[in-house]
């Protein structure tokens, strides 16, 4: 029996993620939600979802051994970051007065308010960016994009976006207003997305299945 662990750090809505994984997992997979570092360290694959403010998230992680457990997982097994689980991987975020992330990806997390404009209407699109939007594949042969059309639509809810310094790790981009932001990254054993695959109907389920098969 193989195990995929969804990290529970006390802030995220984990039920939808676990239900989506349970729906697509074959019988040889066990889906576990856990904050136990021993369970996480023994898992075959790790999912790190997140929502809310990054400052509170990193504070909770640093107060427990979960910070080290996530660092270990990032360097040792297939790892899927979702929404805030992507943003925490970068060096620094503008949110919460400036927050230091894991630094696994060199770059920053920025607020849409500083850059967002739609030149067609000369107005700022709504923040947060909420709803369905297209994702353009930039690593077109990545296994997690298997059977997912380029420019497929996924569900987003976020006010901040990531800016990796190394463009080669960008796996997907999305347009909102006049900007094209990074909506997926892939590096070694890690794949992380700004959108919510667990809320993205069939395309999201295909991505989660691809992760289990990766």
Distance of CA 42 to the CA centre of its chain: 21
Query: Quick check: 153 and 132 in contact, CB under 8 A?
Result: yes
**How many other CB atoms are found less than 10 A from the CB of residue 59?**
12
**How many other CB atoms are found less than 10 A from the CB of residue 23?**
12
CA angle 111, 163, 149 (to 5 degrees): 105
Sequence-distant (6+) residues with CB within 8 A of 141 are none
d(CA 55, CA 59): 6
Please list the active-site residues. 83, 196, 198
Strand, helix or coil for residue 58: helix
Sequence-distant (6+) residues with CB within 8 A of 12 are 49, 50, 51, 52, 84
Q: Which residue shows structure tokens 């620094």? A: 92
Query: Quick check: 154 and 132 in contact, CB under 8 A?
Result: yes
Its sign, for the CA torsion 95, 19, 134, 80, is positive
């Amino acid at each position: 029996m193989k195990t995929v662990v969804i990290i529970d750090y006390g802030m995220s809505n984990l039920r939808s993620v676990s239900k989506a994984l349970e729906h697509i997992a074959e019988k040889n997979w066990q889906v576990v939600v856990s904050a136990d570092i021993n369970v996480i360290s023994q898992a075959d694959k790790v999912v790190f979802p997140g929502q809310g403010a990054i400052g509170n998230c990193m504070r909770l992680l640093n107060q427990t051994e979960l910070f080290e457990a996530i660092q270990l997982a990032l360097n040792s097994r297939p790892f899927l970051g979702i929404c805030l689980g992507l943003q925490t991987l970068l060096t620094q975020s503008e949110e919460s007065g400036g927050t230091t992330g894991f630094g696994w990806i060199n770059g920053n997390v920025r607020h849409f308010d500083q850059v967002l404009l739609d030149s067609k209407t000369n107005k700022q699109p709504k923040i947060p960016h909420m709803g369905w939007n297209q994702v353009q594949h930039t690593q077109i042969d990545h296994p997690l994009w298997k059977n997912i059309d380029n420019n497929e639509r996924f569900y987003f809810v976020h006010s901040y976006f990531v800016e990796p310094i190394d463009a080669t790790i960008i796996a997907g981009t999305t347009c909102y207003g006049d900007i094209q932001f990074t909506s997926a990254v892939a590096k070694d054993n890690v794949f992380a997305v700004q959108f919510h695959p667990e809320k993205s109907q069939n395309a999201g389920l295909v991505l989660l299945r691809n992760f289990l098969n990766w």
